[in-house]
Amino acid sequence: MPRSRPSPRDLLMRSMLKHKAGIAKHRMMNVKRQSDVDDLPTLEERLKVILDLLNKKERQSSNMIFFVMYDIASNKVRRAVVKYLQRRGCHRVQRSIFLADVKPEVCSVIQHDLAAVQAMYDNKDSIFIVPLSIDYVKSMKVIGENIDFDLILKTKSTMFF
């Protein structure tokens, strides 16, 4: 029998249990910074996710587009947040930046759960949730990689006479 998939609320529940057990009060867990994103998709794959989101014909107008950005020192907490955001429908854009296109209620749940987890640990971490409009996402620029984001978005026009 296959294992059931954990619910997205597991992050909050596990963190509450750790907090009640006193694990979070005494020390930061595994604070050493190391790359825990070996499975990070290529830039082209990440841009394709953004483009698919923008060009989706059946996109619900009531949905919210927003970035979730974080600076979390603990590898264990960071991995749990990454898995939680992915289960909630967020797409990884950078190592610590996710893009989501979900209902406002889901955004509120994400915000509440991340705030609760943040409050449980004695840390100096930060999490930003930044709402966006489609126009802002379309005007986004990518700097650093050899890729022309304007060309992919088809925002540059060429006229031949």
Query: The whole model's pTM is what?
Result: 0.69
The region of weakest confidence among 19-23, 40-44, 127-131 is 19-23
52 or 73, greater pLDDT: 73
pLDDT for position 1? 60
Q: What's the average model confidence in pLDDT over 92-102? A: 91
Q: What's the average model confidence in pLDDT over 20-34? A: 51
Tokens read off for 122: 């004695």
Tokens read off for 41: 């998709």
Assess whether pLDDT exceeds 70 at residue 155: no
Assess whether pLDDT exceeds 90 at residue 82: yes
Give CA angle at 8 (84, 128), nearest 5°: 40
Instruction: Please provide the average confidence, as pLDDT, over all residues in the chain.
Output: 77
Return the CA Rg of the chain.
18
Q: Among residues of the chain, what percentage have pLDDT more than 90?
A: 28
